[in-house]
Chains A and B, each alone.
Chain A
């Protein structure tokens, strides 16, 4: 396979996200585009995985807690080779392996079924516990939305991970500042996020969530920690890469029409 940087793969993922959502005529572009660089860096640069063996017991795991960003995950998995690129066109259609939210049994490479906000980090804790019981060394990545941290279960899981010193958990908060009903600070502020995670016993780092170098460095910083779980608060832009979607709450859960998709693809550059 030809070598591509995470940055280039992120660009290709964004193209696929637009194509998929336009074909599906529904879905969540905003939060998919904000999480793209994180997923690209993880899947193409960091995670110990093998697309030929999606069930490899020693693999790193990823729980997409904010399951509505499924198109970004599917784009990463297809580009990584878990399934043919053509399958992306089936998103959200009856009988498709690509459900509206991630399904671990239908989609090769999906490690946990998610979609109901607040539940993913708990599953990540269980995976890290299983790794400890088995004496395995794999990492468990979890990607949460900032709005998602309004769910109480997130903090139950945060307490658990810290209590049991689950240093193999590396969580990201995709801090795009918007949720369906508006700005997170207007709807129900989860701030100050850094202080909250710190108070729950996590080591915290804040980065630019669209800078693949910074994402890579933060993951390495997290991997070096052997006692505490790590959370990377990634400042992002909802709808990143498509100017008319950026920072627009209306693009949380509506798909681009054909014309808008073409406009978006033109901005994202050729395939």
Chain B
């Protein structure tokens, strides 16, 4: 693992600022959080196409829809709680239903928001976005993947939800990686169990796999960066190959990656599995590290849960 840690929101801000300069169709919208979401960088590179909407997320989504209806490619940012929660029905009816080319890049997703507490920690955003027809849902694991996704989303025609974090996270080894849109990515082969992870939990899962290896358990680790459309063939293949599955996400176990994988496996390849994530509860204040430990999202907790699944094989 690289020692350098970068938040996915940082990578988003940098990539978008560069893209906005290159591509005159891109319009960047924010709701008074541009310093936190990092869209402020686009204000420097493309000031004529940066729109601060003020603290009014519902209107911001509608403005983005109108821009898209006129051929623009709007990128809309706020915290995930507000972007997907406050403006849910605007996303549903003004963006997803007419399938307009709006990119919703929401930062501060998950409990690693930290000290701001449960009011600001979105644990249900993927669930909300995944339920909408026409919506693509992406969760990058690190800065490199974020850049690939932002560039891909700018070219793709249709609504996209991009889930970004506040916390600086480790970089997965970039060598030999290539971003395959909408595909599951096998980072570590293994034969005993497969761990499907997304976002910053991919790195945690890799560490958990190392712990398991010391006990002779060969866990595969897969990065499921695209929650929707889900790469069902890949997931079924991995589950079939290992015979046990674990999902790990910094999100509620209801409606996110765990649910998506469970739905796919239940229908196509019933497999002993478990969903590790936020167990139907809200977050709270604390340091990100303390919160990850409290909610059981550490490499140790992942390894322990993996062994519980293995016992059911």
Taking the closest CB of chain A, its distance from the CB of B60, in whole angstroms, is 8
Interface size on B, residues (CB 8 A): 30
Question: What are the residues of chain B within 8 A of A116 when measuring CB–CB?
Answer: 89, 93-94
Distance to closest chain B CB from A54 (angstroms)? 12
Any chain B CB within 8 A of the CB of A125?
yes
- A126:B68 contact, CB within 8 angstroms: yes
Asked whether A126 and B98 contact (CB < 8 A) given A131-B70, A133-B27, A133-B48, the answer is no
Nearest to A115 among chain B residues (CB) is B93
Alpha-carbon gap, A159 to B70, bound state (A): 21
Known: A153-B59, A160-B56. A126 touches B66 (CB 8 A): yes
A122 within 8 A of B: yes
Contact between A126 and B89 (Cβ–Cβ < 8 Å)?
no
Asked whether A179 is an interface residue with its Cβ less than 8 Å from the other chain, the reply is: no
From A61, A115, A119, A134, contact of B90 by CB (8 A):
A119
Which chain B residue shows the least CB distance to A158? B59
Q: Which single member of A61, A131, A156 contacts B59 (CB below 8 Å)?
A: A156
Question: CB distance B58 to A112 under 8 Å?
Answer: no
Q: Is A160 a contact of B90 with CB atoms below 8 Å?
A: no
Choose from B49, B53, B93 the contact partner of A119 (Cβ within 8 Å): B93
Is A105 a contact partner of B98 (Cβ separation < 8 A)?
yes
- Asked if A187 is at the interface (CB within 8 A of a chain B CB), the reply is no
Contact check, B69 vs A126: say whether CB atoms are below 8 A apart. yes
Q: Is B72 an interface residue (CB 8 A)?
A: yes
Contact pick for B61, options A111, A122, A134, CB 8 Å: A122
A134 vs chain B, min Cβ distance (A): 8
The reply to whether the CB of A104 lies closer than 8 angstroms to some CB of chain B is: yes
Residues of B contacting A163 with CB < 8 Å?
54
**B72 to chain A: which residues have CB within 8 Å?**
126, 130, 133
How many Å from the CB of A121 to the closest CB on chain B? Answer: 8
Taking a contact as CB atoms closer than 8 A, the residue among B27, B61, B70, B93 that contacts A127 in the complex is B70
Evaluate whether A130 and B59 lie within 8 angstroms (CB atoms) in the complex, with A57-B71, A122-B94, A159-B54 already known: no
A129 beta carbon closer than 8 Å to chain B:
yes
- In the complex, are the beta carbons of B51 and A129 less than 8 A apart? yes
Question: How many angstroms between the C-alpha atoms of A121 and B54 in the bound complex?
Answer: 16
Chain A residues, CB < 8 A from B70: 57, 61, 126-127, 130-131, 134
Q: Which of A103, A105, A111, A126 contacts B67 (CB 8 A)?
A: A126
**Interface mask (A82-109 → B, CB under 8 Å = 1, otherwise 0):** 0000000000000000000001110000
B262 to chain A, nearest CB (A): 32
Contact of B94 among A57, A111, A123, A134 (CB under 8 A): A123
**CB proximity to B under 8 Å, residues A27-75:** 57, 61, 63
Which chain A positions have C-beta within 8 A of B51?
129, 164
Q: Which residue of A lies closest to B25 (CB)?
A: A133
* A123→B66 contact, CB < 8 A: yes
- B223 on the A face (CB < 8 A): no
Q: Does A204 contact B (CB under 8 A)?
A: no
**Secondary structure dominating the interface of B:** helix
Contact A130 B94 (CB under 8 A): no
Q: Which residues of B contact A112 (CB under 8 A)?
A: 65-66, 69, 98
Interface size class of A (residues with CB under 8 A): 35 or more
Cβ-closest chain A residue relative to B62: A122
B64 at the interface (CB under 8 A from A): yes
A153 touches B90 (CB 8 A): yes
Q: Does B8 contact A (CB under 8 A)?
A: no
Partner of A126, one of B49, B54, B64, B93: B64
Judging by beta carbons under 8 Å apart, are B69 and A129 in contact?
no
- Docked Cα-Cα span, A228 to B49, in Å, equals 20
Q: A151 to B230, alpha carbons, bound, how many Å?
A: 36
Most central of B49, B54, B63, B64 by chain A CB within 10 Å: B63
Partner of A125, one of B49, B63, B68, B89: B63
Q: Does B99 contact A (CB under 8 A)?
A: yes
Q: Bound state CA distance, A123 and B102, in angstroms?
A: 12
The CA of A163 and the CA of B63, in the complex, are separated in Å by 14
The verdict on B97 contacting chain A, using a C-beta distance below 8 Å, is yes
Query: Are A111 and B69 in touch, CB under 8 angstroms?
Result: yes
Closest CB-CB distance, A191 to chain B, in whole Å?
Answer: 22
Give Cα A129 to B53, complex, Å: 12
Binary per-residue interface labels of chain B (187-207) against chain A in the complex, 1 for a CB within 8 Å, 0 otherwise? 000000000000000000000
The answer on a CB contact under 8 Å between B68 and A122 is no
- Complex CA–CA separation, A118 to B93 (angstroms): 11
A138 to chain B, nearest CB (A): 9
A124 within 8 A of B: yes
Q: Which residues of chain A are within 8 angstroms of B99 by Cβ–Cβ distance?
A: 105
**18 residue pairs A–B, Cβ–Cβ below 8 Å:** A57-B71, A63-B66, A105-B98, A112-B69, A119-B90, A119-B93, A119-B94, A121-B62, A122-B62, A122-B90, A123-B66, A129-B27, A129-B51, A129-B63, A129-B66, A133-B27, A156-B56, A157-B63
Interface set of A (CB-CB < 8 Å, partner B): 57, 61, 63, 103-105, 111-113, 115-116, 118-131, 133-134, 152-153, 156-157, 159-160, 163-164
Name B residues whose Cβ lies closer than 8 Å to a Cβ of A: 27, 48-49, 51, 53-54, 56, 58-72, 74, 89-90, 93-94, 97-99
Q: A103-B98, A119-B65, A122-B94 are in contact. List 6 more A-B contacts (CB 8 A).
A: A104-B69, A126-B67, A127-B67, A133-B49, A153-B58, A160-B63
